[in-house]
Structure 1
Amino acid sequence: MKRILYIEDDLEIGSWVKEDLEQRGYEVVWHKSGEKALADIRESHLVILDVMLPGLDGFTIGQRLKKESPEVPILMLSARTAVDDKLQGLEFADDYVIKPFHPDELAARIEVLLRRFTHILSNEIMLGHIHVYMNENRMTDKRTGEEIILTGKQHQIFMYLLRHPNQILTKEQIYEAVWGESYIEGDKSLMVHIRHLREKIEVNPGSPAIVETIRGIGYRVRQ
């Protein structure tokens, strides 16, 4: 049974969403504010998070949850339709649903996210000679058994790519997700970090097989 961490302060909406998801076979842990949600994130398979919450807002809570458990997908719920709000949410969230919504749509989006993150939720990922232990935030070279040590930014970039397997991610998407600020055209920071990342994880950094460059667009990890 998949466990959903649900954070919603509206009692009416919260009640019917929880009931509907439980009827579909999910276990739902419902919090009416985000302050105590961090304690439950490690045991959850997915987070449904409302933007408008008492105390800390959904954006702040979501950023903290994603930092704590980057392998757990977050689905944002909001009555806000402004593009800026969506972009702010998608800096850390994996999907964004506008209220009001149909329960079938919510269920379908949950299924898509769970399928996409199944390989991560299983904790271990094999990428050629690299063995990644997602829940432990570490990786080893299976040829030598030695741990591969990444810097903070290298780790964040690699985890972001792993959370979006087979997807071509633009430089802007990766930069804004990792640095938390707008990408400035011509900035070489991301390119430099990826070069150093490849030096640590690729058999041949000059011809990378794990972190692929998609010319003119960005990068991809194929699984």
Structure 2
Amino acid sequence: MRGYNILMVEDDVVIGDVMQKILQREGYNVCWKTDGSDVLHVIREMDMVIMDVMLPGEDGYQLSKKIKHLGLNIPIIFLSARSDMDSKLQGLTIGEDYMVKPFDPRELLLRMKKMLEKHYGMFTQIQHVYIDAERRRVFLMSMQHEVDLTAIERKIFFYLYENRDRILTKEHFMAYLWQLEDRNPNIVNVHIKKIRAKINDHAGEIIQNIYGEGYRLNTYRKP
């Protein structure tokens, strides 16, 4: 589950420090805040929120309502010492999950994993690019940043992805894209250039030009 951006809002520095280290060890990118003062400034970069309920200033419920009102489809897991049913129901109404403190970090990690898979699907990460092959969607850095590909760009990208680490010639592309009215092989170059720009692959490390042969989508970083 590497690469997801997790916002953790926890005012207990001992719990926060331990959880940050555990999440980072699992490969998550953690943004830790001790209150909600500037949460809304970073929330659009996040893929999930781990939210303490009792916070200085606005509590976790109020803060989460503001996040939801922004129209962002970000799952929220509440952490709270409150174990009464009313508190649990309130948390599950506002957010997606609720855990009572103290908790076993292994349980939180498993719940996070299942929620992220359910919410975002299964992704392949290639450098800063996240690929959902099942839904044929591409994201940058965060699952909130979907790459806006045209129909033909999407078809070319996933043709490369389905044949990743293999060289595809222009003849391969022209045969695959036979329905194009413009049969000029240079049209492939034009579309790949646009795809590279959209996925911030200006150096051609992900979609590599193999001189005199064609293109290859690399699943590894060049040394």
TM-score by length of 2: 0.53
Are 2:81 and 2:102, in contact at CA under 8 Å, matched by a contact in 1? yes
Question: Deviation of residue 135 (structure 1)?
Answer: 6.2
Pairs within 5 Å for 1:21-170: 21-119=23-121
3-state DSSP of counterpart to 1:110: helix
3-state DSSP of counterpart to 1:104: helix
3-state DSSP of counterpart to 1:100: coil
What amino acid is aligned across from residue 50 of structure 2 in structure 1? Answer: I
3-state DSSP of counterpart to 2:50: strand
Question: Deviation of residue 112 (structure 1)?
Answer: 1.0
3-state DSSP of counterpart to 1:6: strand
3-state DSSP of counterpart to 1:33: coil
Distance 1:116 1:20, change over 3 A: same
3-state DSSP of counterpart to 2:23: helix
Question: Deviation of residue 35 (structure 1)?
Answer: 2.1
Separation (CA, whole Å) in 1 of partners of 2:40 and 2:73: 14
Which of the residues 18, 21, 41 maps onto 1:19? Answer: 21
Cα-to-partner distance string for 1:168-198 (whole Å, 9 max, x where unaligned): xxxxxxxxxxxxxxxxxxxxxxxxxxxxxxx
Question: Deviation of residue 14 (structure 1)?
Answer: 0.3
What is the count of residue pairs matched by the alignment? 130
Question: Deviation of residue 111 (structure 1)?
Answer: 0.4
Separation (CA, whole Å) in 2 of partners of 1:66 and 1:18: 24
**Unpaired runs of at least 5, structure 2:** 124-129, 136-142, 146-150, 152-223
3-state DSSP of counterpart to 2:93: coil
Compare CA radii of gyration and give the structure with the larger one. Answer: 2
TM-score by length of 1: 0.53
- RMSD over aligned CA atoms reads 2.7
Are 1:2 and 1:27, in contact at CA under 8 Å, matched by a contact in 2? yes
3-state DSSP of counterpart to 1:71: coil
Separation (CA, whole Å) in 2 of partners of 1:135 and 1:47: 13
Separation (CA, whole Å) in 2 of partners of 1:106 and 1:44: 18
Question: Deviation of residue 92 (structure 1)?
Answer: 1.5
Distance 1:107 1:83, change over 3 A: same
Are 2:44 and 2:72, in contact at CA under 8 Å, matched by a contact in 1? no
What amino acid is aligned across from residue 40 of structure 1 in structure 2? Answer: V
Are 2:46 and 2:144, in contact at CA under 8 Å, matched by a contact in 1? no
Calculate percent identity across the aligned residue pairs.
40
Separation (CA, whole Å) in 1 of partners of 2:38 and 2:8: 12
Separation (CA, whole Å) in 1 of partners of 2:94 and 2:87: 12
**Unpaired runs of at least 5, structure 1:** 128-133, 137-141, 143-223
Cα-to-partner distance string for 1:113-169 (whole Å, 9 max, x where unaligned): 1011105x98x9x99xxxxxx969xxxxx9xxxxxxxxxxxxxxxxxxxxxxxxxxx
